[in-house]
A and B are shown apart, each in its own frame.
Chain A
Amino acid sequence: MQLFFSGLLAVLLSACSGMPLRGTGDLGLVVERASSHVTLVNTSSREAYARIGGLGDLSHASVVYSRDARYAFIFGRDGGLTKVDLLEARIVKRIMQSGNAIGGSISQDGRIVVAQNYTPGGIKAFDAETLELLSEVPAEYAPGSFSKVVGLADVPGNKFAYALFDGGEIWVSDFSDSKRPVTKRYPAGLQPYDGLVTPDGRYYLAGLFGEDGIALLDLWQPEQGSRKILEKYGRGEEKLPVFKMPHLRGWSVAAGRAWLPAIGRHEVLIADAASWKETGRVAVKGQPVFVMASPDGRQVWVNFAFPDNGWVQVIDTLTGKIVQTLQPGKAVLHMEFTPRGEAVWLSARDDNRVVIYDTKTFRNLGSLAADAPSGIFFTSRAARIGF
């Protein structure tokens, strides 16, 4: 009898919530940049299951996940920050946090969401539960001069590393006391355009636009200061025009090496991830934008800036050779691997669809309709350092 009642109770409870119990490990979302919407997707069934609107200007929108992988924090270009519940498929809270934003990150303990801003230049920290403002660090690199902030990455110790495009520096802010962050500054070089932290959280790399090279900071030994790697990779040759800035966030470390986009050269640069010396280069179809390693590190997928953005190339990290060249659609803006990498989803903006490929056979597994899709973000990001 008691068993009967507890069974009945369970049925009633699940009926109340209106949905079956489920985890979120195979969920994610696709940003529809032009229409203020995101489409919620399931990577097991390869289907969209909901669509949410009213999210403002989503050009260049990016997403991080709460550590329980239930909530997505969506950073819009217009400074909007929206917390979305993937299970109930609804907006939990939405604020306007700045005039012009470029992305964000979430702290190691999952309690602090940080937005990086162009206007006003700096970062702002919010309570992940309530989106209440906790503190901010204006990127005032010289008295009265504020920089656009790029390359924000969560690093261990509730710290965030980021780069100042106009200030030419790497900053690391410690939010151990979330209301009173403490910031350390390191020189980077001319016009850092984006940054990444290695998957172990040890090295922060800032790509430079204004000079050939990448600034590197060892976060385990920050007292040693920053240094340049891959210096003069352009060998003094004239740069090709860059019609879209590369993006560095993603798993670009694979097979013990870092795979990085060159600026103004149609090449992927390879550096040893211990010595940080150049070990090779791969000639590719165009200016690389995303250079993303598969979760196992065996492949690196590369997409390209306009006008080569209909191509995608796959590098085998064992041989350093291109093993596949694909044309998934018009204007491929982003790629995302399923959690263990058996498939990759690509957004083809001008075809209004997301295309799915098998990473072993390179077979097209199908596609989903989406309105001018850009970023694709799966919940596996919730557990990754640097996101």
Chain B
Amino acid sequence: MSSSRFLYALTAILLGSLAMPGMAELTAARQKELVHLVRQDCGSCHGMTLRGGLGPALLPATLADKPAEGLVATIIGGRPGTPMPPWHRFLAEDEAQWIVERLMAGFPE
């Protein structure tokens, strides 16, 4: 790979990550609401500390080998055959993505 192509690719990746839909647009107030929703309402099955309950644990270690897109799809669409319901009425896709990223990194209190 020539250095100009490398730079081009790098720029594309950086721009791509900046352009992640809505990532920069979640307000602090909305982020707070999402943290509350995950801890309290997702927490009724996954545990308030996210160590699991009727639903599986949502800790960085348990999610590490799972692709983020799949997790976002599960939040938005639910998982048929299990008690996991679809949350699309309450969460936009970029919000689900924000939640998944935070879960994989260690969820805020």
Binding site for B on A (CB under 8 A): 33-34, 57, 59-60, 77-78, 100, 102, 118-119, 148, 150, 165, 191, 193, 209-210, 241-245, 306-307, 331, 349-350, 372
B54/A77 in contact, CB under 8 A: no
> Whole-angstrom distance between the alpha carbons of A243 and B90 in the complex?
11
Minimal Cβ-Cβ distance residue in B for A119: B52
Which residues from A are CB-within-8-Å of B52? 100, 118-119
B35 within 8 A of A: no
Min CB gap B51→A, angstroms: 7
Centre residue among A59, A148, A307, A331 by max chain B CB count within 10 A:
A59
B83/A59 in contact, CB under 8 A: no
Q: When A33-B48, A57-B48, A59-B43 are in contact, do A193 and B53 touch as well, CB less than 8 Å?
A: no
> Whole-angstrom distance between the alpha carbons of A210 and B81 in the complex?
7
Minimal Cβ-Cβ distance residue in B for A58: B48
B45 within 8 A of A: yes
Query: Which residues 32-82 of B have a CB within 8 angstroms of A?
Result: 39-41, 43-45, 47-49, 51-54, 78, 81
A244/B53 in contact, CB under 8 A: no
B108 within 8 A of A: no
Min CB gap A259→B, angstroms: 22
B85 within 8 A of A: yes
Min CB gap B83→A, angstroms: 6
> Whole-angstrom distance between the alpha carbons of A207 and B27 in the complex?
41
Min CB gap A15→B, angstroms: 43
Partner of B51, one of A100, A150, A350: A100
Centre residue among A33, A244, A306, A307 by max chain B CB count within 10 A:
A306
A59/B45 in contact, CB under 8 A: no
Which residues from B are CB-within-8-Å of A307? 89-90
A60/B83 in contact, CB under 8 A: no
A245/B40 in contact, CB under 8 A: no
Minimal Cβ-Cβ distance residue in A for B81: A210
> Whole-angstrom distance between the alpha carbons of A245 and B54 in the complex?
9
> Whole-angstrom distance between the alpha carbons of A191 and B90 in the complex?
26
B44/A60 in contact, CB under 8 A: yes
> Whole-angstrom distance between the alpha carbons of A241 and B89 in the complex?
10
Min CB gap B41→A, angstroms: 5
> Whole-angstrom distance between the alpha carbons of A307 and B85 in the complex?
13
Q: When A59-B43, A349-B40 are in contact, do A118 and B53 touch as well, CB less than 8 Å?
A: yes
Which residues from B are CB-within-8-Å of A118? 52-54
Minimal Cβ-Cβ distance residue in A for B83: A209
B47/A245 in contact, CB under 8 A: no
Partner of B44, one of A119, A148, A210, A244: A244
Min CB gap B42→A, angstroms: 9
Min CB gap A210→B, angstroms: 8
Q: When A59-B43, A349-B40 are in contact, do A243 and B85 touch as well, CB less than 8 Å?
A: yes
A241/B49 in contact, CB under 8 A: no
Which residues from B are CB-within-8-Å of A33? 48
> Whole-angstrom distance between the alpha carbons of A245 and B51 in the complex?
18
Minimal Cβ-Cβ distance residue in A for B51: A100
Which residues from B are CB-within-8-Å of A350? 40
B41/A60 in contact, CB under 8 A: no
B83/A242 in contact, CB under 8 A: yes
B47/A57 in contact, CB under 8 A: yes
Q: List 12 A-B contacts (CB under 8 A).
A: A33-B48, A59-B49, A60-B44, A77-B51, A100-B51, A148-B54, A165-B54, A193-B54, A193-B83, A241-B86, A306-B44, A307-B89
> Whole-angstrom distance between the alpha carbons of A119 and B44 in the complex?
16
Min CB gap B37→A, angstroms: 8
